[in-house]
Amino acid sequence: MVIHKNIFKSIGFFLLVMFIVLFSLFPFLQMLSTSLKHSWDWGNPSLIPAQVNTSAYKELLNIGQDEKDLPESVRILLEETPDLTEAQKESIIAKFKDSGDIFPFMKYFRNSLAFATTAAFISLIIAIFGAYSISRMKYRGQKLIQRGVLFVYMVGGILLLIPLYKISVAIGLAGTEQGTVVSLLIIYMVQTLPVSLYMLGNTFRSIPFSIEEAAFVEGYTRIQTIWKIIIPLSLGALATVFVYSFMIAWNEYLFASVFLKSFKDLFTLPIALKALFVSKNAIWDRIMAASMLTAIPVVILFMLVQKYLAGNMSSGGVKE
């Protein structure tokens, strides 16, 4: 009797685990499956493609597309004019490719990468000093700053969008490409800074003060201890904060959609993908392949810092 009950219990438990895993993973399997299917296979409910089709990936990553997209006459011109330099050839190819119908995935990918890396890096530097200050030093208002940082949890993106847009239009930043880039970078920094401060503050507090004291005795200044002791001792946390900020900027849609509206060359992946989906129908394979390629960098980065991030999330230092 007891054994039977245990078997049922284990099977039930196993099914529950399976359900949780499938529920979490299914959309990703769906994405992968559809990205590899031919259009005649989309309606087939099986997740395994009847015939693997990688053309969507090839098209997005621009593999083997150089020749295909060029008009016949241009290709002949390129082949039969030996005195063209490589640079000239490339510029000719680029010119004809741009006029084509392809979705410049790599360009948007680079834009996203540039935005996310820059924002995360600057935010990290500012947060290191800020977090050190609020967690290690004593002055009036220090506690207030420490708690006030959490207030930012309440202020969602939509609450800031209108005033920030109006301000950047008023001071003339929203009119130019450079200005838009600067405003967007600052906005991403602001979104990640509170969390970075909080997470790093917690880490710095966990470093024994005696180590720092020893350094002071040796004649180190505060700044020197930050560089030579605090930073080397919290590399894991720094990487985590960097990845975290990177993810926020990489995934951001709301601000990018408003600020970059009139600058198509600056589009980040989220707005470009949304635009692609709206503009053309029945290109599920390309949409899904683009989705996969957008998700992969973030997932890899996350896997690298997972241990730290999970720990930090559970101690409360996280924002959506």
Site for another protein in 241-260 (CB under 8 A): 247, 250-251, 253-254, 258
Q: Which is nearer to another protein, 70 or 105 (CB)?
A: 105
Q: Which of 153, 171, 205, 228 binds another protein (CB under 8 A)?
A: 153
Contact between 8 and another protein per CB under 8 A: no
How many residues line the site for another protein (CB under 8 A)?
A: 88
The residues, ordered by sequence, that sit 6+ positions from 92 with a Cβ below 8 Å of its Cβ are: 74, 77, 78, 84
The residues, ordered by sequence, that sit 6+ positions from 288 with a Cβ below 8 Å of its Cβ are: 31, 32, 34, 35, 56
To another protein, the closest distance from the beta carbon of 98 in angstroms equals: 24
Q: Which is nearer to another protein, 69 or 112 (CB)?
A: 112
* Identity of residue 157: G
Q: Which is nearer to another protein, 8 or 153 (CB)?
A: 153
Compute how many other C-beta atoms are within 10 angstroms of the C-beta atom of residue 66: 15
* Footprint on residues 158-217 left by another protein (CB under 8 A): 158-167, 169, 186-187, 189-190, 193-194, 197
CA angle 271, 276, 281 (to 5 degrees): 145
* Footprint on residues 267-306 left by another protein (CB under 8 A): 269-270, 273-274, 277, 284, 287-288, 290-292, 294-295, 298-299, 302-303, 306
- Which whole-number Å values give the CA distances from 261 to 175, 177, 222, 258, in the listed order? 11, 11, 45, 5
Q: Which is nearer to another protein, 82 or 172 (CB)?
A: 172
Contact between 140 and another protein per CB under 8 A: yes
